[in-house]
Structure 1
Amino acid sequence: MNIRPLSMLQPGEVGIVVQIAAGRGLTRRLVEMGITPGTHVKVLYNGPGPVVIMVRDSRLVLGRGAAMKILVEVDGVDI
């Protein structure tokens, strides 16, 4: 298994959320945005600053700190 923080994925990489290692407030906010264990996420942009991802046909922007707390199993690259 290749589990990494979401913030470590490169643009184009796809992963499955396995855990959210955050406090209740951030976890609740992420769940409200559709980021839950088992969800597929695709990284669109990961440079300096925020991380842009695609989740359930929605584009979301996450701060780097929040992205570090989302652990994903890397599923490959979706071109």
Structure 2
Amino acid sequence: MMPLALLSPGESAEILSVNIHLEKRSCCCGQCDGRHHHRGQRTEEMGLRAGKVVEMLHNGAGPLLLRVDDARIALSRGMAMKIFVRRIQ
């Protein structure tokens, strides 16, 4: 098991766990109940959940670029360090 951020370009891996806690913040948008679920919910919406297979497209300076299903996703290195994966041979 290793952080997603350590994959090399071209490598594929299965997500084992996403260790991003739901973060609740007060909101003043006027269109909700005053509470938003941010990071944890957003990773789910992007398809980053246990059991999914991802492919590293770019791992250089700046955000990482991943392929999840048929989508390309940019992800910060900090978030990628909280997602644990297992390389697929």
Q: Structure 1-normalised TM-score?
A: 0.89
Aligned to 2:88: 75
CA–CA separation in structure 2 for the residues paired with 1:62 and 1:37: 16
Unaligned runs of 5+ in 1: none
Structure 2 residues without counterparts, runs of 5 or longer: 23-37
SS of 2:88's equivalent? strand
Give the equivalent residue in structure 2 for 1:50. 63
1:4 is matched with 2
Distance 2:41 2:13 in 1: 20
Percent identical: 38
Opposite residue 16 of structure 1, the aligned amino acid is E
Q: CA RMSD in A?
A: 0.8
In the alignment, which residue of structure 2 is the partner of 1:27? Answer: 40
Instruction: In structure 2, give the amino acid aligned to 1:10.
Output: S
Count of residue correspondences: 74
More helix by share: 1
Higher alpha-carbon Rg: 2
